[in-house]
Amino acid sequence: FKYIMQYSMYKTFARKYSTTVRKIIAKYRFNKDFAVFYEDKKGRKKMRVFFNGSFKRKTTAMEASCDNVANTIFNTTVSSLIQRLQAGKCELCGAEGNIEIHHVKRLKDLQGKKPWEIQMIGRQRKTMVVCIPCHNKIHAGKID
């Protein structure tokens, strides 16, 4: 099986460079492996082996480090509109009583530059429960 895979690789290179398989084998074969010789920046001659085994899936991980968590906006508040209305609290300033619903047509229309836009994008909701003064400021463009 190893020989078949290696031969097909030589055949692919031969087709790519418009030459014969024998010439490719003569150029790229080293100890029955498919290898390429090159010089590094310091002028030392090095070799890179491209195929010396099989294409079998490797079971061990190469690196054990984990990805860092991206800076995302986490929402710990309730997301149901009814629950947010029953709370009776402005989601911007925290004032209680005299609340209204601010609604946008599409989330993709928000730019995410203003605090209320960031909050709506973060919770992926088109509605926000706000007090009357905050609602007026949103529509006047005065909340920054």
The pLDDT tens digits of the residues spanning 74-104 come to 555 556 778 888 888 988 888 888 899 898 8
> Are residues 130 and 86 part of one domain?
yes
pLDDT band per the 50, 70, 90 thresholds, residue 144: low
pLDDT of residue 65: 61
The range of the structural domain enclosing residue 105 comes to 81-140
In-domain check, residue 60? no
Query: pTM of the full predicted structure?
Result: 0.44
SS3 letters across 86-126 = HHCECCCCCCECCEEEEECCCHHHCCCCCHHHHHHHHHCCC
pLDDT of residue 98: 87
> Are residues 93 and 47 part of one domain?
no
More confident residue, 70 or 28: 28
Report the number of distinct structural domains present in the chain: 2
> Are residues 85 and 45 part of one domain?
no
pLDDT of 39 higher than 80? yes
In-domain check, residue 108? yes
The number of helix segments (H) and strand segments (E) in the chain equals 5, 5
pLDDT of 54 higher than 60? no
> Are residues 85 and 41 part of one domain?
no
In-domain check, residue 75? no
pLDDT of residue 53: 59
In-domain check, residue 121? yes
